[in-house]
Chains A and B, each alone.
Chain A
Amino acid sequence: MSYGAISVGMGFGVWLPVLLAVLVLAGASEILFIGIVAAGGSPVAATVAGLLVNARHLPFGLAVSEVVGRGWRRVLGSHVLNDESLVFALGQRDAERSRAAFWACGLGILICWPLGALAGALLGTVIGDTDSFGLDAMFPAVLLALVLPQLRDARSGGTALAGAAIALVATPFLPAGLPVLLALLALIGLVRRPGAGVRKAGVREEPEEREEREEREEREEREEPKEEAR
Protein backbone atom coordinates (compact mmCIF):
# COMPACT_ATOMS: atom_id res chain seq x y z
CA MET A 1 0.00 0.00 0.00
CA SER A 2 2.78 2.41 0.87
CA TYR A 3 4.32 1.68 -2.54
CA GLY A 4 1.11 2.78 -4.29
CA ALA A 5 0.75 5.86 -2.10
CA ILE A 6 4.37 6.85 -2.66
CA SER A 7 4.07 6.49 -6.43
CA VAL A 8 1.04 8.75 -6.55
CA GLY A 9 2.83 11.13 -4.19
CA MET A 10 5.62 11.34 -6.75
CA GLY A 11 3.11 12.55 -9.33
CA PHE A 12 2.19 9.38 -11.24
CA GLY A 13 -1.29 8.18 -12.11
CA VAL A 14 -2.86 5.25 -10.27
CA TRP A 15 -2.34 3.00 -13.30
CA LEU A 16 1.48 2.97 -13.24
CA PRO A 17 2.12 1.32 -9.83
CA VAL A 18 -0.72 -1.14 -10.45
CA LEU A 19 0.51 -2.08 -13.94
CA LEU A 20 4.03 -2.61 -12.57
CA ALA A 21 2.66 -4.64 -9.65
CA VAL A 22 0.73 -7.00 -11.94
CA LEU A 23 3.31 -7.45 -14.70
CA VAL A 24 6.64 -7.19 -12.87
CA LEU A 25 5.65 -8.39 -9.39
CA ALA A 26 9.00 -7.54 -7.80
CA GLY A 27 8.62 -4.75 -5.24
CA ALA A 28 12.14 -3.37 -5.06
CA SER A 29 12.53 -3.02 -8.84
CA GLU A 30 9.12 -1.35 -9.15
CA ILE A 31 9.93 1.22 -6.48
CA LEU A 32 13.33 1.76 -8.09
CA PHE A 33 11.75 2.18 -11.55
CA ILE A 34 9.29 4.77 -10.27
CA GLY A 35 11.98 6.50 -8.21
CA ILE A 36 14.30 6.95 -11.19
CA VAL A 37 11.56 8.23 -13.52
CA ALA A 38 10.26 10.56 -10.79
CA ALA A 39 13.76 11.97 -10.30
CA GLY A 40 13.82 12.91 -13.99
CA GLY A 41 15.74 9.86 -15.19
CA SER A 42 14.98 8.28 -18.55
CA PRO A 43 12.64 5.27 -18.73
CA VAL A 44 15.54 3.38 -20.34
CA ALA A 45 17.75 3.94 -17.27
CA ALA A 46 14.83 2.92 -15.03
CA THR A 47 14.32 -0.29 -17.02
CA VAL A 48 18.02 -1.19 -17.00
CA ALA A 49 18.28 -0.55 -13.25
CA GLY A 50 15.12 -2.57 -12.62
CA LEU A 51 16.43 -5.47 -14.70
CA LEU A 52 19.74 -5.40 -12.83
CA VAL A 53 17.94 -5.55 -9.50
CA ASN A 54 15.83 -8.46 -10.79
CA ALA A 55 18.77 -10.42 -12.19
CA ARG A 56 18.92 -12.15 -8.80
CA HIS A 57 15.84 -14.14 -9.81
CA LEU A 58 17.99 -16.22 -12.12
CA PRO A 59 20.02 -17.79 -9.28
CA PHE A 60 16.77 -17.94 -7.26
CA GLY A 61 15.24 -20.09 -9.97
CA LEU A 62 18.32 -22.30 -10.07
CA ALA A 63 18.01 -22.81 -6.33
CA VAL A 64 14.33 -23.83 -6.19
CA SER A 65 13.62 -25.22 -9.66
CA GLU A 66 12.03 -28.39 -8.19
CA VAL A 67 9.22 -26.50 -6.44
CA VAL A 68 8.41 -24.38 -9.50
CA GLY A 69 7.40 -27.42 -11.57
CA ARG A 70 7.21 -28.03 -15.30
CA GLY A 71 5.03 -27.14 -18.29
CA TRP A 72 2.39 -24.45 -17.70
CA ARG A 73 3.09 -24.61 -13.98
CA ARG A 74 6.59 -23.44 -14.70
CA VAL A 75 5.25 -20.34 -16.47
CA LEU A 76 3.09 -19.29 -13.52
CA GLY A 77 5.59 -20.61 -10.97
CA SER A 78 8.35 -18.49 -12.47
CA HIS A 79 6.20 -15.38 -12.29
CA VAL A 80 5.47 -15.85 -8.57
CA LEU A 81 9.11 -16.59 -7.77
CA ASN A 82 10.30 -13.75 -5.54
CA ASP A 83 12.23 -13.01 -2.34
CA GLU A 84 9.34 -14.01 -0.08
CA SER A 85 8.24 -17.22 -1.83
CA LEU A 86 11.91 -18.24 -2.06
CA VAL A 87 12.39 -17.79 1.68
CA PHE A 88 9.22 -19.81 2.36
CA ALA A 89 10.33 -22.61 0.03
CA LEU A 90 13.82 -22.78 1.57
CA GLY A 91 12.37 -22.81 5.09
CA GLN A 92 10.69 -26.22 4.73
CA ARG A 93 12.38 -29.58 5.26
CA ASP A 94 10.75 -31.94 2.77
CA ALA A 95 10.01 -31.31 -0.91
CA GLU A 96 6.24 -31.66 -0.53
CA ARG A 97 5.90 -28.95 2.11
CA SER A 98 8.45 -26.81 0.33
CA ARG A 99 6.33 -26.87 -2.83
CA ALA A 100 3.14 -26.11 -0.90
CA ALA A 101 4.77 -23.19 0.95
CA PHE A 102 6.20 -21.75 -2.25
CA TRP A 103 2.87 -21.79 -4.08
CA ALA A 104 0.82 -20.52 -1.13
CA CYS A 105 3.16 -17.60 -0.60
CA GLY A 106 3.68 -16.91 -4.31
CA LEU A 107 -0.03 -16.90 -5.23
CA GLY A 108 -0.83 -14.87 -2.11
CA ILE A 109 1.59 -12.18 -3.22
CA LEU A 110 0.32 -12.34 -6.81
CA ILE A 111 -3.10 -11.26 -5.50
CA CYS A 112 -2.24 -9.06 -2.51
CA TRP A 113 0.61 -6.99 -3.93
CA PRO A 114 -1.33 -5.40 -6.85
CA LEU A 115 -4.44 -4.92 -4.67
CA GLY A 116 -2.33 -3.25 -1.99
CA ALA A 117 -0.71 -1.02 -4.61
CA LEU A 118 -4.15 -0.03 -5.93
CA ALA A 119 -5.51 0.73 -2.46
CA GLY A 120 -2.40 2.75 -1.60
CA ALA A 121 -2.50 4.67 -4.86
CA LEU A 122 -6.19 5.57 -4.38
CA LEU A 123 -5.45 6.64 -0.80
CA GLY A 124 -2.50 8.69 -2.06
CA THR A 125 -4.72 10.62 -4.47
CA VAL A 126 -7.04 11.53 -1.58
CA ILE A 127 -4.28 12.63 0.79
CA GLY A 128 -2.75 15.08 -1.69
CA ASP A 129 0.42 16.50 -0.14
CA THR A 130 2.14 13.25 0.81
CA ASP A 131 5.34 15.00 1.93
CA SER A 132 3.74 16.47 5.05
CA PHE A 133 2.87 12.90 6.12
CA GLY A 134 6.49 11.85 5.67
CA LEU A 135 5.64 9.40 2.87
CA ASP A 136 8.87 10.28 1.08
CA ALA A 137 10.79 8.76 4.02
CA MET A 138 8.71 5.58 3.72
CA PHE A 139 10.26 4.54 0.41
CA PRO A 140 13.89 4.29 1.57
CA ALA A 141 12.71 2.90 4.92
CA VAL A 142 10.74 0.10 3.22
CA LEU A 143 13.81 -0.95 1.21
CA LEU A 144 16.08 -0.64 4.24
CA ALA A 145 13.85 -2.93 6.30
CA LEU A 146 13.86 -5.50 3.46
CA VAL A 147 17.60 -5.39 2.84
CA LEU A 148 19.07 -5.06 6.35
CA PRO A 149 18.59 -8.70 7.39
CA GLN A 150 20.84 -9.71 4.48
CA LEU A 151 23.56 -7.21 5.35
CA ARG A 152 24.30 -8.27 8.91
CA ASP A 153 27.69 -9.82 8.24
CA ALA A 154 30.64 -7.45 7.95
CA ARG A 155 31.56 -8.39 4.41
CA SER A 156 28.26 -7.77 2.61
CA GLY A 157 27.53 -4.83 4.91
CA GLY A 158 30.85 -3.23 4.00
CA THR A 159 30.39 -3.79 0.29
CA ALA A 160 26.87 -2.35 0.39
CA LEU A 161 28.08 0.69 2.34
CA ALA A 162 30.88 1.26 -0.19
CA GLY A 163 28.34 1.08 -3.02
CA ALA A 164 26.04 3.52 -1.23
CA ALA A 165 28.97 5.91 -0.72
CA ILE A 166 29.89 5.78 -4.42
CA ALA A 167 26.29 6.54 -5.42
CA LEU A 168 26.06 9.44 -2.95
CA VAL A 169 29.28 11.03 -4.20
CA ALA A 170 28.19 10.66 -7.83
CA THR A 171 24.57 11.85 -7.51
CA PRO A 172 25.15 15.63 -7.82
CA PHE A 173 27.13 15.16 -11.04
CA LEU A 174 25.51 12.34 -13.04
CA PRO A 175 22.08 11.84 -14.66
CA ALA A 176 19.55 10.04 -12.46
CA GLY A 177 19.91 6.26 -12.47
CA LEU A 178 23.62 6.20 -13.28
CA PRO A 179 24.93 6.74 -9.73
CA VAL A 180 23.05 3.63 -8.62
CA LEU A 181 24.61 1.55 -11.40
CA LEU A 182 28.02 3.05 -10.62
CA ALA A 183 27.65 1.63 -7.11
CA LEU A 184 28.41 -1.78 -8.62
CA LEU A 185 32.07 -0.67 -8.63
CA ALA A 186 32.01 -1.66 -4.97
CA LEU A 187 31.88 -5.27 -6.19
CA ILE A 188 35.33 -4.99 -7.77
CA GLY A 189 36.84 -5.77 -4.39
CA LEU A 190 34.93 -9.07 -4.43
CA VAL A 191 35.63 -10.00 -8.05
CA ARG A 192 39.34 -9.29 -8.11
CA ARG A 193 40.34 -11.58 -5.29
CA PRO A 194 39.42 -15.22 -5.74
CA GLY A 195 38.11 -16.67 -2.53
CA ALA A 196 36.87 -13.32 -1.31
CA GLY A 197 33.29 -14.43 -1.80
CA VAL A 198 30.24 -13.10 -0.05
CA ARG A 199 29.79 -14.83 3.26
CA LYS A 200 26.45 -16.30 4.07
CA ALA A 201 25.07 -15.42 7.47
CA GLY A 202 25.60 -18.18 9.98
CA VAL A 203 28.56 -19.79 8.18
CA ARG A 204 31.32 -20.38 10.68
CA GLU A 205 34.80 -19.20 9.89
CA GLU A 206 38.05 -20.93 10.74
CA PRO A 207 40.44 -18.72 12.74
CA GLU A 208 43.01 -18.53 9.92
CA GLU A 209 40.29 -17.76 7.43
CA ARG A 210 39.08 -14.97 9.64
CA GLU A 211 42.54 -13.43 9.92
CA GLU A 212 42.92 -13.55 6.16
CA ARG A 213 39.59 -11.93 5.63
CA GLU A 214 40.26 -9.15 8.10
CA GLU A 215 43.52 -8.37 6.38
CA ARG A 216 41.74 -8.25 3.09
CA GLU A 217 39.08 -5.93 4.40
CA GLU A 218 41.71 -3.57 5.76
CA ARG A 219 43.37 -3.45 2.38
CA GLU A 220 40.07 -2.74 0.74
CA GLU A 221 39.29 0.06 3.12
CA ARG A 222 42.48 1.76 2.07
CA GLU A 223 41.62 1.22 -1.58
CA GLU A 224 38.08 2.44 -1.36
CA PRO A 225 38.69 6.20 -1.73
CA LYS A 226 40.33 5.53 -5.08
CA GLU A 227 37.25 3.74 -6.32
CA GLU A 228 34.97 6.53 -5.25
CA ALA A 229 37.13 9.13 -6.92
CA ARG A 230 36.64 7.52 -10.30
Chain B
Amino acid sequence: MNGSTVVLVIAVLVLAAGTFAFRFAGPLLRDRVSVPERTEQLMTMSALVLLAAVIATTALYEGHELAGYARPAGVAVGGVLAWRRLPFIVVVLAAAATTALLRLLGVR
Protein backbone atom coordinates (compact mmCIF):
# COMPACT_ATOMS: atom_id res chain seq x y z
CA MET B 1 0.00 0.00 0.00
CA ASN B 2 1.57 3.30 -1.01
CA GLY B 3 0.86 6.74 0.45
CA SER B 4 -1.83 7.82 -1.99
CA THR B 5 -3.75 4.57 -1.43
CA VAL B 6 -3.76 5.21 2.32
CA VAL B 7 -5.05 8.75 1.74
CA LEU B 8 -7.74 7.36 -0.54
CA VAL B 9 -8.86 4.79 2.04
CA ILE B 10 -9.02 7.49 4.73
CA ALA B 11 -11.09 9.67 2.38
CA VAL B 12 -13.49 6.75 1.81
CA LEU B 13 -13.79 6.20 5.57
CA VAL B 14 -14.49 9.89 6.23
CA LEU B 15 -17.11 9.96 3.47
CA ALA B 16 -18.71 6.79 4.88
CA ALA B 17 -18.74 8.14 8.45
CA GLY B 18 -20.14 11.51 7.38
CA THR B 19 -22.80 9.94 5.19
CA PHE B 20 -23.86 7.66 8.04
CA ALA B 21 -24.02 10.68 10.36
CA PHE B 22 -26.38 12.43 7.92
CA ARG B 23 -28.58 9.33 7.69
CA PHE B 24 -28.58 8.71 11.43
CA ALA B 25 -29.23 12.33 12.39
CA GLY B 26 -32.65 12.46 10.72
CA PRO B 27 -34.44 9.80 12.76
CA LEU B 28 -32.52 10.90 15.86
CA LEU B 29 -33.56 14.54 15.57
CA ARG B 30 -37.10 13.93 14.41
CA ASP B 31 -38.73 14.23 17.81
CA ARG B 32 -36.65 17.17 18.96
CA VAL B 33 -36.32 19.63 16.07
CA SER B 34 -38.64 20.53 13.24
CA VAL B 35 -36.89 21.49 10.02
CA PRO B 36 -38.89 24.04 8.03
CA GLU B 37 -40.16 22.67 4.73
CA ARG B 38 -38.24 25.36 2.89
CA THR B 39 -34.92 24.19 4.34
CA GLU B 40 -35.79 20.64 3.38
CA GLN B 41 -36.57 21.72 -0.19
CA LEU B 42 -33.37 23.72 -0.36
CA MET B 43 -31.29 20.68 0.68
CA THR B 44 -32.98 18.57 -1.97
CA MET B 45 -32.41 21.28 -4.56
CA SER B 46 -28.72 21.66 -3.67
CA ALA B 47 -28.25 17.92 -4.17
CA LEU B 48 -29.91 18.20 -7.57
CA VAL B 49 -27.77 21.20 -8.55
CA LEU B 50 -24.58 19.37 -7.55
CA LEU B 51 -25.62 16.34 -9.57
CA ALA B 52 -26.48 18.50 -12.60
CA ALA B 53 -23.04 20.12 -12.39
CA VAL B 54 -21.37 16.71 -12.22
CA ILE B 55 -23.35 15.47 -15.22
CA ALA B 56 -22.48 18.54 -17.29
CA THR B 57 -18.76 18.58 -16.47
CA THR B 58 -18.21 14.84 -16.90
CA ALA B 59 -20.17 14.83 -20.16
CA LEU B 60 -18.17 17.68 -21.72
CA TYR B 61 -14.75 17.69 -20.05
CA GLU B 62 -11.85 15.34 -19.54
CA GLY B 63 -9.91 17.04 -16.77
CA HIS B 64 -9.56 20.64 -17.90
CA GLU B 65 -9.88 19.84 -21.61
CA LEU B 66 -13.03 19.36 -23.66
CA ALA B 67 -13.78 15.67 -24.15
CA GLY B 68 -14.58 15.82 -27.88
CA TYR B 69 -17.91 15.03 -29.55
CA ALA B 70 -18.54 11.32 -29.09
CA ARG B 71 -19.15 11.38 -25.35
CA PRO B 72 -21.48 14.43 -25.16
CA ALA B 73 -23.45 13.01 -28.10
CA GLY B 74 -23.94 9.71 -26.28
CA VAL B 75 -25.00 11.47 -23.07
CA ALA B 76 -27.43 13.65 -25.05
CA VAL B 77 -29.06 10.56 -26.59
CA GLY B 78 -29.36 9.09 -23.09
CA GLY B 79 -30.89 12.35 -21.85
CA VAL B 80 -33.56 12.40 -24.56
CA LEU B 81 -34.49 8.78 -23.87
CA ALA B 82 -34.62 9.43 -20.11
CA TRP B 83 -36.85 12.45 -20.71
CA ARG B 84 -39.17 10.21 -22.71
CA ARG B 85 -39.28 7.89 -19.68
CA LEU B 86 -37.61 4.90 -21.29
CA PRO B 87 -36.30 2.23 -18.89
CA PHE B 88 -33.07 3.01 -17.07
CA ILE B 89 -31.09 0.19 -18.68
CA VAL B 90 -32.14 1.31 -22.20
CA VAL B 91 -31.02 4.88 -21.45
CA VAL B 92 -27.58 3.82 -20.20
CA LEU B 93 -26.90 1.27 -22.93
CA ALA B 94 -28.06 3.67 -25.67
CA ALA B 95 -25.68 6.35 -24.37
CA ALA B 96 -22.71 3.96 -24.37
CA ALA B 97 -23.67 2.48 -27.76
CA THR B 98 -23.96 5.92 -29.38
CA THR B 99 -20.54 6.97 -28.11
CA ALA B 100 -18.95 3.64 -29.07
CA LEU B 101 -20.48 3.80 -32.57
CA LEU B 102 -19.29 7.38 -33.14
CA ARG B 103 -15.76 6.39 -32.07
CA LEU B 104 -15.90 3.38 -34.39
CA LEU B 105 -16.74 5.80 -37.20
CA GLY B 106 -13.70 7.88 -36.30
CA VAL B 107 -15.44 10.70 -34.41
CA ARG B 108 -13.49 11.57 -31.27
State the A residues within 8 Å of B (CB).
2, 16, 19-20, 23-26, 28-29, 31-33, 35, 37, 39-40, 43-44, 46-47, 49-65, 68, 74-75, 77-79, 81, 131-148, 150-151, 156, 159-168, 171-172, 176, 179-184, 186-187, 190-191, 197-198, 200
Contacts and interface: CB of A to CB of B under 8 A. Distances in A.
Given A168-B60, A197-B41, A187 B46 contact: yes
Contacts of B92: 2, 138, 141-142, 145
Contact of A160 (B42, B49, B61, B88): B49
Using C-beta atoms within 8 Å of the partner chain, give the interface range for chain B: 35 or more
A191 B45 CA distance: 11
Interface in B56-108: 56-64, 67, 70-71, 74-75, 78-79, 82-83, 88, 91-92, 95-101, 103-104
A200 B12 CA distance: 33
B57 A138 contact: no
Given A26-B19, A59-B43, A131-B103, A163 B49 contact: yes
B57 A171 contact: yes
Given A61-B26, A77-B27, A32 B49 contact: no
Contacts of A141: 74-75, 78-79, 82, 91-92, 95-96
A145 B78 CA distance: 8
Interface of B: 7-16, 18-20, 22-30, 35, 37-64, 67, 70-71, 74-75, 78-79, 82-83, 88, 91-92, 95-101, 103-104
The A interface is mostly helix, strand or loop, or mixed, namely: helix
Contact of A137 (B53, B63, B95): B95
Contact of B48 (A2, A74, A160): A160
B53 A167 contact: yes
A141 B54 CA distance: 11
